[in-house]
Structure 1
Amino acid sequence: MAFQPEDILEGGRSIRPFLPELLGNDAVQVDKQLAELLAQAKAGQQVEQQILEILKSYPDTRNWIAEFLSEQQVSKGFQQLPGSGEALSAQKYICPQGDYVWYRRVVGATIPTCPTHGVLLIPADQ
């Protein structure tokens, strides 16, 4: 299945907050690689396949990105409810530099800073 380049980039931005729990000691190295590739993408380079290769190289990140790119979009903060319910939405926050995404799944959760740039994330709809 072919994915849209922006979907892969969004997956690379969105997985970064979860890397410590998914990868443990390898999280810092993978986060640095993703940050560099996302900076290259912002500069116009095609890095989507490299991002997928990094994420596919670890079982937990492979499963996470597969779920993220699936039609159900559970990792993006949307989950179909049983019965005739509607999808739930989590508020999206982004780094102003465009390389980090975080979803506020719980009201009152502290908004983090971007680990690459050290700036507070802003709501995506601004």
Structure 2
Amino acid sequence: MTDNETDLHKAARIVLPHLEELLDAAAAQKLRAALDAADDDTIVRLAESAPAVGDWLADYLDATASDLRAYDPLAGDAQPVAPSAVFRCPLGTLVWYRRFVGETPPRCPTHDVDLVRVEDEPPAP
């Protein structure tokens, strides 16, 4: 950005390659010619006459105007997320993962038996 280029001028320069996406070809060519030598007031008037371009400029200026964004971590000690509980059919045909604590596992649809939590299974011989 040059010393005398405003944020609005920079946005107007950056929107130029996108005009064909926002407008029909004739309107894009006309607006491109008008934006090249426009001052801030003219850019605002041109953006108001082409709402799609005005929205693009507003989004660009909003996204680039903010300073460095800080990250505030949540309160409390960070701890790893516990893995989901795994349940299995005792006859070995179904494995089911619990999505949230307290969710009741279904019965095995093949054998009509309760699923067993994998940690609770007896070790294999």
> Which TM bucket (shorter chain)?
0.3 to 0.5
From the CA coordinates, give the structure whose radius of gyration is larger. 2
Of structures 1 and 2, the one with the larger relative CO (CA 8 A, separation 6+) is 1
